[in-house]
Amino acid sequence: MASPWNKRHTQIDFNALGGLKRQIADINGVNGKNTTPNRDRTNALGRKRLDTLDEETTDPETGLKGLTLVEAAKSGVRAHEYIRTKSRSPWEDYEKCWDLRLGVKDWITVAERRGAQSNALVLVKRFEGLSSEENVHKLQQVQHTNIVSALEVFRFERTSYVVFEYMAYSISYIAGNPRLDEIRLAAILGQILAGLAHLTKEGFEHGSLTCSNILIHPYGDVKIAGLENCYIPASNGASQYVEALSSIVTELMNGYVKEDGAVGVDDLHRWPPGSHAVSFLSETTSAASIFKLIKHPLLQLPWQKDMLIGVVSFATVGTRIGYKYPPS
């Protein structure tokens, strides 16, 4: 996707840099309080989703419905990860608002719940065919702070409709953003790596990781979407993400994807060769896995996700957001 921001045309060749020390850390997840998932909060959110769907008897010790516990056990997932399903059209419960373009060809429906009890926006995505059941099962297994949360599932006319939490844009819309500096770049990448580390630990590999399926909320939350592209690899997929990260970081820093797929930056004034950001990008061309990148000095900067609020807000002014109205 072409960037609307001004560009410079000086190029840097990473093959000529050399001398960059590889950051090696065998850790269980992303380091630092900014990126460690709050499991208590995640579990509580899962319980809240379950408790709002039906008026069944609640277990006072776990906060979960008795029927939900049985259904979760049958599905092979932990109770707090279980996503309840409804056998009816989602449009009985939700009203379509518009279709949002996340990337060049990626569209999703923005909707709001019918009735006076709630007007919260959600994202609705449809899955058709035999793979729809498999995709729902994946969503149940990979819930995490930095992965887009599925709220509920509707099955109607051989199609599954998954209702996701609302995320305003993909990070494609903030690529090359003038307010995107080194520490804000760290705030994006730190959250992405936390999500990827979780996918890896759960035994999944995301087969189509791009800026288009990494979403960002106006409050600065960054979450991985497109989980229908996940699969169980023959070997550990942590190294596969390194190549994908090269393209993602190049697009974020330049504002566009290089036609030849080259990795590098074009504006050396904005991203000087000695900066942590350039060093991190260089490391993505040689690191053995994402766990080698997690303790890079760029991600040790004192970033906070709310540093991204201004970046997202500016994107709404400086970028034409793709949408369709009325929605299809």
* pLDDT score for 258: 80
Is residue 91 situated within a structural domain?
yes
Domain C-terminal end among 114, 146, 165: 165
Same domain (yes/no): 191, 134: no
Q: How far apart are CA 179 and CA 241, in angstroms?
A: 26
Contact at 8 Å (CB) between 232 and 203? yes
Q: Within this chain, do residues 29 and 43 fall inside the same structural domain, yes or no? A: no
Residue 135 belongs to some domain of the structure: yes
294 lies in a domain?
Answer: yes
Indicate if 143 and 186 belong to the same structural domain. no
Residues 182 and 298 in one domain: yes
Tell which of 165, 188, 221 closes a domain.
165
On whether both 22 and 45 belong to a single domain, the answer is no
Residues 192 and 147 occupy one common structural domain: no
Residue 292 lies in a domain: yes
Does residue 1 lie in a domain region? no
Residues 302 and 288 in one domain: yes
**pLDDT recorded at residue 294:** 93
Domain housing 139: 39-165
Residue 4 lies in a domain: no
Closest CA to 132 of 228, 32, 60: 228
Q: In the chain, how many domains are there?
A: 2
Domain C-terminal end among 165, 188, 211? 165
Residues 107 and 215 occupy one common structural domain: no
Angstrom distances, CA of residue 266 to CA of 54, 133, 282: 54, 44, 14
Q: What is the pLDDT of residue 255?
A: 93
Q: Is 250 a member of any domain?
A: yes
The answer to whether residue 2 sits within a structural domain is: no
Residue 107's domain is classified under what CATH number? 3.30.200.20
The CATH number of whichever domain residue 185 belongs to comes to: 1.10.510.10
Angle between helices 276-283 and 240-254 (to 10 degrees): 140
Same domain, 203 and 149: no
Query: What predicted TM-score, i.e. pTM, was given to this entire model?
Result: 0.74
Q: How far is CA 287 from CA 151, 224, 282, 290, 326, in A?
A: 36, 21, 9, 7, 46
Residues 193 and 160 in one domain: no
Residue found by looking up tokens 């494609």 in the block: 172
- pLDDT tens for the 328 residues of the chain, in order: 445 454 444 344 444 433 333 322 333 334 434 433 443 443 333 333 333 333 344 444 433 344 433 444 444 444 445 688 899 999 999 999 999 887 667 789 999 998 866 668 999 998 876 566 777 777 777 889 999 999 999 999 888 899 999 988 899 999 999 999 999 999 999 999 999 999 998 888 898 899 999 999 999 999 999 888 888 887 765 567 888 999 999 999 999 888 777 899 999 999 999 999 999 999 999 888 899 999 899 999 999 999 999 999 998 876 667 777 888 7
Same domain, 154 and 26: no
Chain centroid to CA 257: how far?
19
Q: Indicate whether 147 and 202 sit together in one domain.
A: no
Residues 76 and 288: their CA atoms lie apart, in Å, by 33
